[in-house]
Structure 1
Amino acid sequence: MEKIIWEYILVFILAAIPWIEIAAVIPLAILKGLNPFLVALLSFAGNFFTVFLLIVLFERFQEWRRKRKGAEEKETGRSKRGKEIWNRYGLPGLALAGPILIGTHIAAAIGMGLGAKKQWTTLWMTISLVLWSGIFAVASHFGFDFFRG
């Protein structure tokens, strides 16, 4: 029983780590045989926890980053992709595409960096994470069942 509890704690922790994301954690945990509902719930909670911290502490982070790197900042491929999504679809598009294309943490940071308000960023990231957690859980559960026979 204790081993199972640690597996669920690990799901929460891995989902909270940027770049691992729910898109990897949920299918792997379900493939391992963990409960799809609990996996989706804990993955959402873990990922949301660090995204929410990023949103809340963004101004401080941005100021620290400016001091550390200077005024000029080189644009990465992910940030370019994020800005293209932002320009075309706004914050909702960025938040909804984030888990698949650039990662939730990067999507939140780009949205905040482009002037989105904390409340709207939090709302749209929450909607996105709930939606994608459900999609990944259902698709993984039924997809693995289909291939198992």
Structure 2
Amino acid sequence: MNPVEQVVSNFQQLVAQVPEVVQPLVAMLAGAIPFVDGEVAAMIGVLGGIHPVLAAVAAATGNFVSVLVVVAVTSRTRSAVVGRRRVPVGVGGGPGTSANPDGDGLGDLASSTPVSKGRRRLNRWLVRFGVPGASVLGPLAIPGQFTAAILVGSGTPRRWVLLWQAVSIVLWTSVGTVSAWAALAVMAGAS
């Protein structure tokens, strides 16, 4: 069993063991975890016995809150880095010198970092479909938290990222909830 399957299994067991009032909080907590996100958290909730609408709302809320935190941290970090770059200081030189002709002080370090398959796919979607497309299609490649961090880190306005991440979370959480509910309905009808 891989680590994600183990996390899902543990959350399903937890939902079944806690009081009914606490069950949506478990779905909310599961939604905040990357790779679980809102869609899987909603499935966990529905399969754990939570009403589908409550499971979807809790999972989407947990997912959005975690994306909100990631966007806030990434935005502050980007502001600090961009603010520092305005005063160019190179390695071994004084103020006004830089390590490479571009003047960004990064040298060849940034270009030698390998890019993951999911990041390459997200970048293609971003170029082709813009922020809305990258946000909605992003969960097919990488978790929403990572997508939001990449978008904000590249300079996309926070509000635009949060708007489209919210749309994506609602869409994918609804798909996950309806899928789990339909699977349970089919299984109940078959018995």
Which bin holds the TM-score, normalised by the shorter protein?
Answer: 0.7 to 0.9
Q: Does the 8 Å CA contact 2:27/2:44 hold for their aligned counterparts?
A: no
1:105-126 CA-to-partner distances (Å, cap 9, x unmatched) read: 1111121233211111011111
The structure whose RCO (Cα within 8 Å, separation 6+) is larger is: 1
Does structure 1 conserve the Cα–Cα contact (< 8 Å) formed by 2:39 and 2:174?
A: no
Corresponding residue for 2:35? 19
CA contact (8 A) 2:28 2:58 kept: yes
Aligned to 1:57: 73
Check whether the contact 1:22–1:133 (CA below 8 A) recurs between aligned residues: yes
Q: Gapped runs of 5+ residues in structure 1?
A: 65-69
* In the alignment, structure 1 residue 88 sits paired with structure 2 residue 104: no
Instruction: Give how far 1:16 is off.
Output: 0.7
Which AA in structure 1 matches 2:127? N
Q: Percent identity?
A: 24
Aligned to 2:157: 117
How many Å apart are 1:48 and its aligned residue?
A: 0.2
Q: Which residue number corresponds to residue 133 of structure 1?
A: 173
Alignment match, 1:75: 115
Equivalent residue letter for 1:10: V
Q: Does 1:144 align with 2:160?
A: no
TM-score (structure 2 length as normaliser): 0.68
> How many aligned residue pairs are there?
144
Structure with higher Rg: it is: 2
Deviation, structure 1 residue 23: 2.6
1:144 Cα deviation (Å)?
1.7
Letter paired with 2:43? P
**Cα distance in 2 between the residues matched to 1:116 and 1:129:** 18
Q: Return the offset for 1:28.
A: 2.1
Q: Which amino acid aligns with 1:146?
A: V
Higher helix share: 1
Distance in 2 (CA, whole Å) between partners of 1:136 and 1:11 is 13
Matched, 1:30 2:46: yes
Q: How far apart are 1:86 and its partner, in Å?
A: 0.7
1:48 to 2:88 alignment: no
Tell me the amino acid that sits aligned with residue 164 of structure 2: W
